Amino acid sequence: MDQFNLELSDPMHQFHLMHMEIALEEARAAEQEDEVPVGALIVSAKAGIIAKAHNQRELLKDPTAHAEMIAITQAAQYLQSWRLENCILYVTLEPCPMCAGAIVQSRIPWVVYGCMDPKAGACHSLYNLLNDPRLNHRSRVVSGVLENECSSILSEFFQKKRNNRKGSPKL
């Protein structure tokens, strides 16, 4: 895993920042829908941004409706292929085991995420599924892109949830 410490003049630094900003826009859209604010997008080497998504578990009543899963499905439909071999996945939160499994299965070679997930992270925090030599595919991982912004939106969301719960009568 590469910590995001590229020089500011490095073109990849600006590329990662630009795309993580778009993922953050998706996270904000999730927050507006009272979803956990996680956003994702997939960039194809040939076609640019081919998928943008945010969490929709509450809306769709679907435990698999994570931002990454939705974006992977959109990208596969766009490319008419389950193999996303020339793509980069940007996501504001470190992918969970389910999403990491989908990343492995779709052959995404690069994953760039904003903040770590100490409770469910499967790229570094709890597991390292994207670099497990027992699996048939591995992804390069870059972490910490706009880490503070990605972490803040989640912290604020859950703080509001806790505050609202404190004022609600217990059943």
CATH code assigned at 20: 3.40.140.10
| Domain membership flag for residue 54 | yes
Number of H helices, E strands in the chain: 5, 6
Q: What is the pLDDT of residue 167?
A: 63
Q: What is the pLDDT of residue 6?
A: 47
**Residue 74, domain extent:** 8-146
Query: Residues 106, 83: contact at Cβ < 8 Å?
Result: yes
| Domain membership flag for residue 167 | no
Q: What is the pLDDT of residue 12?
A: 85
pLDDT tens for each residue of 26-76 = 999 999 999 999 999 999 999 999 999 999 999 999 999 999 999 999 999
CB count within 10 Å of CB 109 equals 16
| Domain membership flag for residue 40 | yes
Pairing of strands 87-93, 39-44: antiparallel
Residue 96 has pLDDT above 80, yes or no: yes
| Domain membership flag for residue 38 | yes
| Domain membership flag for residue 89 | yes
Please identify every residue annotated as catalytic.
68
As for how many domains the chain has, the answer is 1
Here the tokens at position 47 are: 């076609």
| Domain membership flag for residue 158 | no
Query: Residues 57, 98: contact at Cβ < 8 Å?
Result: no
Q: How far apart are the first and last CA of the chain?
A: 45
